[in-house]
Amino acid sequence: MEQNNPEYILEEVLDEVVLATKAAMGIPVLRFDYGTVMELNTKLKDWNESSTDRATIYPLVWAQEPFTIVRDASVGQGFYGRAEGLNIFIIAASDKNYTAQQRMANVFKPIILPIYRAFQKQLVIHTALSEIAGKIPHRFTNRYIISEFNDDVDCSVMVNTQFMIYDNPNCSPFTNFI
């Protein structure tokens, strides 16, 4: 009989991956959030207005909603589904007056790219996730001074990130409803 436990909640798993990335890198700040661009902009505004949150906004790993969990015959036994269409942003504070070379030297090389590499390693070793054919397929894009966010930020985006999600053996399927 095929087991079909409830899924791991992907947003919770990504939060755990970000915490593990932060610990592995030994950095004091690495925030995780998810949602729509509108939600993120509201949060950025609120965080910037808060004296306690302002210093811990960036770097930020943000998963853009919505994304898809594919559940079909290609998924295979032991897996809940395959995440597809997941865009993961690694965002860092920047300066709107930086040139491309300054962005690379001051933001991408020292902040974003090391987080990207460590984040990928933590994705691979998380027990809820599995690579697809030995990789976590995605496209990678550096974006300079992102205009859709309320702050002056640079980011790299893991576009259409894909991985397998195991069945969650620690949860029992619902058997009845009230």
Predicted confidence (pLDDT) per residue in 97-136, tens digit: 999 999 999 999 999 999 999 999 999 888 888 888 778 8
pLDDT score for 118? 96
Here the tokens at position 66 are 């919505």
9, 13, 2, 3: which is closest to 172 by C-alpha?
A: 3
**Inter-CA distances, 10 with 51, 70, 157, Å:** 30, 13, 18
Examine the pLDDT at 171 and tell me if it is beyond 80: no
- When the candidates are 3.30.70.1700, 2.60.40.10, 3.30.420.40, 3.40.50.2020, the CATH number that belongs to 10-166 is 3.30.70.1700
Q: What is the pTM of this model?
A: 0.87
How many CA atoms lie less than 13 Å away from 32 in the CB half-sphere?
17
Note the pLDDT tens digit of each residue in 69-94: 888 887 778 888 888 899 999 999 99
Examine the pLDDT at 5 and tell me if it is beyond 60: no
Average confidence score pLDDT of the chain: 86
